[in-house]
Structure 1
Amino acid sequence: MARAQDFQGGDPIVEARRAFFEAGRTPVGQVPGAILQSWRRCRGLGLAANARPAIEPIDAPRLRAMREQHERLWRLARAEVEMLAADAANTGSIAILTDAEGWILDAEGSAAFLDKAGRVALMPGACWSEARVGTNAIGTAIADARAVEVRGGEHYAAPHRILNCAASPIFDPYGRMVGVLDISGDASVAQVHALGLSQLAVAHIEHRYFDEGIADADLLRVHSQRALLGTAREGLLAFRNGRLIAANRVGLALFGLERTDLGRASYDALFDGAVSRLRDDGALHDRNGRVLYGHVDEPTRARRARAATPITVSPATSALDADAPLFGDAQVADLERARRVLDAGIPVLVLGETGTGKEVFSRELHRRCARAGKPFVAVNCAALPEGLIEAELFGYESGAFTGARKEGSTGLLRQAEGGVLFLDEIGDMPMALQPRLLRVLQDRELSPLGGGKPVKLDFALVCATHRQLEDAVAEGRFRADLYYRISHHIVALPPLRASDGRDARVRTLWARIGQGRRLSDAAHDALVRYDWPGNLRQLVASLRTLVALSEPGSEIGVDALPAYLRARLPAAMPSRPETVAVAGDLDAITLSSMRAAVEACGGNIAQAARQLGISRSTLYRRLGADPRAS
């Protein structure tokens, strides 16, 4: 049985332990204050300092039930545990997730250290509360409600001196502690950045808790630096009936508040000006005159948007969809080059504005490549709820989390076996998930959530985004190593306004869609000369609308065109299409078209967006409209 005398000399902790445990003195200044306070609490509980705590991990069924009980925490933290575990494996340490009582839900990282940790029951199913095992990073972080590091002999129980641990508590939006994220390693190896890494990971987890919105509340995303908006370092504050009901730690720190202020602090006490100022101007002053930038979320509307189906799994194909736009000569050449690259096992990255046909191009690439006889699996990374992306992509074992199918799920990567995986809007993939995708692309194998044997993978990868990924890499919003992995061959699809042969494109599409109806010359010219800010998607939607609102065999004239096209007719009928470009800056033309559409629809944003073939959020953003408008 270990005693304080068993510790090696030359370390201040040795003298501190002797003073406290043997002489009954208080070693003030010899150990951190948090450690000394914890030692006092543990001694008050009657814990033995020199004995190995009796820790009995619960069995597998009870652990599974415990994970289901804490499904939301386990799901939202999973990506961070994976990311930390990958780094921890290289430093001989492990990443640990516990609930708010110290029960370990997950432990991953160095296989060698997992075995060593198992000797002191530092494993899933064990409870590491202070009351059970004495001073340790998990239990002491829970007791103090703050991040803490416990090194070697600072642990209350002498047998735990083999550990160096750093833990940070996790709080939900309402200030309730829901768990702890810990990094533990061998005490003989210095873990210089462990505490900082755990705190950073927790910030991402806590930020993710707000993604589903706060019911019946205005959620303000603010910061004094614009560049930090949209990151885990932005302040999040939710107000209901003028009262602060939820906030992350950054939001609280911006105003010097504590979690105990939730439910008591008022909006008027913090901000100078109505919340509408933030919607209209993107900026608001606090009561100290400081300018805070940001915007306001409408959580219920955001949740409905997320409900859109983000995944399609198409079977093998050999023919082009009859409704798909034809490709011009330049795109046919792009397709052939991309086909050769894809058949060589090299990923293809398709860039282009919203509506330029990135998925259509990718499906045609699948049709032409050597994998045409296998599935095409399309995943919209922007539409899939962040907490479910990992489970949907990588699959999970039976009982991995609440709501999981009883038989588990193979995951989309395995559904694409032998075929093509299309990751649309890859630029919107959560930062925390990018390392695992990178490892899958490198190793071509995956392990399902909840355990299971690694599975070898065989698929071709096509990614697409409307974002400038190089800028995202420079700003730290997209991993550079993942970007270089997926961008060996880039295809840039031009916007419709900049593409050649718009006249031929309109004629070809109308021949497919028109069902025998005729376009008057004036209507055809108006369609050709319009700049189509929503690109091909908007054009196709407009043509289909013309068909739906006309009689078979009829001729469609200018009066049947959408209002936003008719509004442009007096200024959009030059003899040569090229003169449209000199009439003004393209952005100005686009904005003018959008304003005309909104005006023609009587201010109805939703209707104008449908006519333009773009999303309401895009229209709001470009026009700076109030999201509460109809």
Structure 2
Amino acid sequence: MSWSADTWDDGGGPAGEIVERFLSGRLTGQEVRAPILHSWQRCQTAGLTPATFQPRLLEDVDYDNILVRAARPVFDRLRTSVAGTSTSVFLSESSGMHLLRVVGETSLHRALDRVCAVPGFSCAESEIGTNAVGSTLLERRTCQISGNEHFSEKLRDFTAVGEPVRHPLSGHVEGVVCVGAPRERANAEMMAAARRAARAVEQRLFELSTEREQALMRRYLGAPGTRAAIAASRSALRDLCRHDRLALEDAAVNMVAQGRAAVAEIPLSDGRTARLVARPVTDPGEPVGIAVQALLLRR
């Protein structure tokens, strides 16, 4: 079964009432994967129970922010592609609040409304438990949550995949594209669809940035070796645990704030070391930004 996955998990999640056995201390062996167990522990610490389900409706929502403007054309196209299917697609911001929803079969509207999968409601893990939106935001990577892996009873009829949407200039996680379906009708295309949609939203965010920002990004991408370095960084970071990813992101933010070339080595929880390399981006000859590359060193 996959939490951060390059491949689809066909397992459908663990057997029923496994969360309840976890809460009663009767969970044994390797019945669930460590990241799911960690999510359940966070839910327990937050005082959640499988039976309580009270999503928060947020007020004063800006439905015309830059993330929505970037995503709207993408979701307009998705509306056509998911029509008549068992699939639903959501856009949520970095707080976990739903901003956009596209639903396939008309009959799904009522089921989604019952679990407050509606724009304006929050999907933060601390409020509704393990779910593809809130858990993706915490993990900062692809999350597939299948059936009984959901902490809340009300969500266990669904399987969903969350894919982070990162701003192409800052790397900041702006939100999540989530693709879901009734768990008995979930399929591998959901993961591919979530990734395609997230990348399309990221491209739109780039297009909505200023001309100067776009020019700087193109100059950076055009530098010798840059694209290979980006690919290496993505490969290195893909399977790191949440703690390590946060540590690297914090270190990278500090290096950007320093505004100069620098190298830092960060010890990881599995005994490896990550090397962060910061280098200036110039326009032309004038330093105007800092790019940070991450590499994993061999043990």
Common fold by TM > 0.5: yes
> Helix, strand or coil: the match of 2:133?
helix
CA RMSD of aligned residues (A): 3.7
Indicate which of 174, 178, 189 corresponds to 1:178: 174
Structure 2 CA distance for partners of 1:252 and 1:210, relative to 1, 3 Å: farther
**Which residues in structure 2 correspond to 1:355-434 (within 5 Å)?**
none
2:234 is matched with 253
Structure 2 CA distance for partners of 1:255 and 1:163, relative to 1, 3 Å: closer
Given that residues 14 and 31 in structure 2 are in contact (C-alpha distance below 8 angstroms), is that contact kept between their aligned partners in structure 1? yes
Indicate which of 99, 121, 146 corresponds to 2:93: 99
Structure 2 CA distance for partners of 1:77 and 1:235, relative to 1, 3 Å: farther
Q: Note the C-alpha offset of 1:163.
A: 1.3
Structure 2 CA distance for partners of 1:198 and 1:15, relative to 1, 3 Å: same
Aligned residue identity for 2:191: L
* Segments of 4+ moved more than 6 angstroms: 254-257
Q: Note the C-alpha offset of 1:215.
A: 4.3
1:119 is matched with 114
1:324 is matched with none
Q: Note the C-alpha offset of 1:103.
A: 1.0
User: How many residues of Structure 1 are paired with residues of Structure 2 in the alignment?
Assistant: 240
1:381 is matched with none
1:147 is matched with 142
2:4 is matched with none
Structure 2 CA distance for partners of 1:33 and 1:195, relative to 1, 3 Å: farther
> Helix, strand or coil: the match of 1:199?
helix
1:21 matched to 2:15? The reply is no
Q: Aligned partners of 1:11, 1:104: CA distance in 2, in Å? A: 24
Structure 2 CA distance for partners of 1:164 and 1:89, relative to 1, 3 Å: farther
Q: Note the C-alpha offset of 1:194.
A: 1.3
Q: Aligned partners of 2:58, 2:193: CA distance in 1, in Å? A: 29
Q: Aligned partners of 1:32, 1:223: CA distance in 2, in Å? A: 41
Q: Note the C-alpha offset of 1:168.
A: 1.3
> Helix, strand or coil: the match of 1:209?
helix
Q: Note the C-alpha offset of 1:132.
A: 1.0
1:290-313 CA distances to partner (integer Å, 9 max, x unpaired)?
xxxxxxxxxxxxxxxxxxxxxxxx
Given that residues 76 and 208 in structure 1 are in contact (C-alpha distance below 8 angstroms), is that contact kept between their aligned partners in structure 2? yes
Aligned residue identity for 1:47: L
Q: Note the C-alpha offset of 1:33.
A: 2.5
Q: Note the C-alpha offset of 1:45.
A: 0.8
Unpaired runs of at least 5, structure 2:
1-11, 238-244, 264-276, 285-292
Q: Aligned partners of 1:100, 1:113: CA distance in 2, in Å? A: 25
2:39 is matched with 38
Unpaired runs of at least 5, structure 1:
1-9, 226-233, 238-248, 277-285, 289-630
Greater share of helix: 1
2:289 is matched with none
> Helix, strand or coil: the match of 1:165?
strand
> Helix, strand or coil: the match of 1:179?
strand
Aligned residue identity for 1:57: L
Q: Aligned partners of 2:47, 2:193: CA distance in 1, in Å? A: 34
**Which residues in structure 2 correspond to 1:542-621 (within 5 Å)?**
none
Identity %: 21
**Based on CA coordinates, which of the two structures has the bigger radius of gyration?**
1
| Larger RCO (CA under 8 A, 6+ residues apart) | 2
What is the TM-score when the length of structure 1 is the normalising length? 0.34
Greater share of strand: 2
**Which residues in structure 2 correspond to 1:48-447 (within 5 Å)?**
48-51=49-52, 53-58=53-58, 62-63=60-61, 66-68=62-64, 71-110=65-104, 111-172=106-167, 173-211=169-207, 212=209, 213=211, 215=213, 218-219=216-217, 220-222=220-222, 235=227, 252-253=233-234, 259=249, 260-261=251-252, 263=256, 266=261
